[in-house]
A and B are shown apart, each in its own frame.
Chain A
């Protein structure tokens, strides 16, 4: 029993990371049609800036700085690199591929390729007793943060004007443009939101794994891609459901099955979902 509880909470913690990365990816993809390979870079920017600033400004301020820097990176990438390639979707994706290679190499040249110990507040390293399982507190931190983000994101999409434009743009971009609304501002906003979420994921991931490295984003990114496709492109709720499914499946199969079987079973889940429902579980629908 205690093993199941621990696996569930750890799986949900991992799901929280996947959700934070996937929701930003999913919105960007749904709206702008860009599969953003540079998303892992946003994650690394947030994590490294927080790691750098924590001893200087205190952890709380450092987290805010990290998230802000990742959001700014996202907005900057959209304005400087994605926007000039308007309508050239393949080239937009290629630019993010180049950026992911160059950006990670840049981080590596500054801070080296080795993993760095990530600062954690003392209370996050303690464990609690849940039904006999010793659960580290950082699991709750991850799950709580992801739940808050989910609620905030859904509220933003449902109740604000920009949220309306984004939802409509994901559904049918041509129609929104035809109505005289400049979707491109929404692009920048969505990239900034995606950057902020990725930055937060990078920081929480640093606490979860207790270290950060320049390449960490890449391995998380592949599972986040899988979550995006399973969840249905452009759907935040779909991403949340898919993230929970992927996180739990991966943890449980990795524990009870052979080494690496969890990762493989996630890919099998992707193949099954795509063959049954090529558009993912939520289909391509506006989020809310």
Chain B
């Protein structure tokens, strides 16, 4: 019985989410306008995109135990890639998106093959360093392509009519929902496949997988490439929903936010990262808007989110979606922690 509700709940949630734009209910306090107003829909779309991005990150962190500090690079590759192809070179959206995601997957394969030669903290540092190069590059505006600090607005003339204009915000919302659904399908398919169990084996004890005759390197690289490609797809969705890109998308702060989202919701759990991502993005946008009316540090979204995050790490190690079967045991140093009682 429990299994069946577990399978039905996401489908029900999806149906509700698809139908939501037809509702005119106003939820005072939570949203500023009725549910189907463009402002609310765009805000929800951003939340859904971050839900998907957080889940793509959790494929690395929660499942394979790879604490990457460079996930923002893949998101930025997707967002800037599609924006540059559409806005500067006048490509059609769908071919631009396809080429961008494929190129980002190749980039992830190249960087991953270098970064994964190291493990533990060194891996985190190498990914951070690679992502930093991306951040520097987009800030320097090479060849006038990225728009530097001002970012690059999406040229609306290159987009299909259905995605342009305030009245069509609802289509962007469905686009974001579709992205989240794709990520969930991919990650949960991996979870159910032998690959998923192997990745969790890698997270808990890499030697055990090596002893079984499997190559940890190849499996981790596969996870890295899939997560990178999903992040790039998310970058495409983000650029469309927000209507452009800014260098913040490439910053290490965004990667840190993704870590916070995954852990907040429950890293390595089925829906934890998705819920964490949606909640984080919601609070971030909402608190920023309420900013002026809140006293002192509470006007700063990051103060509230950072504090909430610390509280969750302490008092709910499994995240908001409940207890994980065991805490992430893999330590950053490769030291095996002493077994704790209880």
Contact = CB atoms under 8 A, between A and B. Distances in A.
Nearest to B337: A87
Contact of A90 (B67, B117, B125, B296): B67
A232 B56 CA distance: 31
B129 A218 contact: no
A101 B126 contact: no
B129 A271 contact: yes
B121 interface: yes
Interface in B132-158: 132-133, 136-137, 139-140
Contacts of B263: 94
B138 to A, nearest CB: 10
B331 interface: yes
If over half of A's interface residues share one DSSP class (helix, strand or loop), that class is named, otherwise mixed; here it is: helix
Given A102-B310, A271-B126, A264 B305 contact: no
Contacts of B313: 85, 91, 94-95, 98
B340 to A, nearest CB: 6
B140 A260 contact: yes
Contacts of B309: 94, 97-98, 101-102
B296 A109 contact: yes
B129 A106 contact: no
Contacts of A88: 317, 327, 337
B189 interface: no
Contact of B332 (A84, A85, A93): A93
Contacts of B128: 222, 225
A270 interface: yes
Given A90-B67, A94-B309, A101-B305, A226 B333 contact: no
Nearest to A222: B132
A81 interface: yes
Contacts of B301: 105
Nearest to B130: A267
Interface string B79-90: 000000000000
A169 to B, nearest CB: 12
Contact of A274 (B118, B259, B328): B118
B300 A105 contact: yes
A95 to B, nearest CB: 5
Contacts, number: 137
A88 B332 CA distance: 10
A105 B297 contact: yes
Contacts of B330: 90
B306 interface: yes
B36 interface: no
Interface string B24-57: 0000000000000000000000000000000000
Contacts of A274: 117-118, 122, 125-126
A53 B164 CA distance: 53
A103 B309 CA distance: 13
A89 B331 contact: yes
Interface in A244-259: 259
Most buried by B among A98, A99, A263: A98
Given A91-B313, A260-B136, A106 B300 contact: yes
Nearest to A259: B140
Contacts of B139: 260
Contacts of B121: 29, 35, 229, 233
A132 interface: no
Contacts of A270: 125-126, 129
A104 B301 CA distance: 11
Interface string A208-248: 00000000001000100110010001000000000000000
A174 B172 CA distance: 55
A101 B114 contact: no
Given A97-B260, A105-B300, A222-B252, A275 B114 contact: yes
Interface of A: 29, 33, 35, 37, 81, 84-85, 87-91, 93-95, 97-106, 108-110, 173, 218, 222, 225-226, 229, 233, 259-260, 263-264, 267, 270-271, 274-275, 278
19 contacts: A29-B121, A33-B331, A85-B314, A87-B340, A94-B263, A95-B314, A97-B256, A97-B309, A100-B306, A102-B309, A102-B310, A218-B252, A225-B125, A259-B140, A264-B133, A267-B132, A267-B133, A270-B125, A274-B122
Q: Which 5 residue pairs spanning A and B have beta carbons closest together?
A: A102-B306, A101-B306, A105-B303, A89-B331, A105-B300
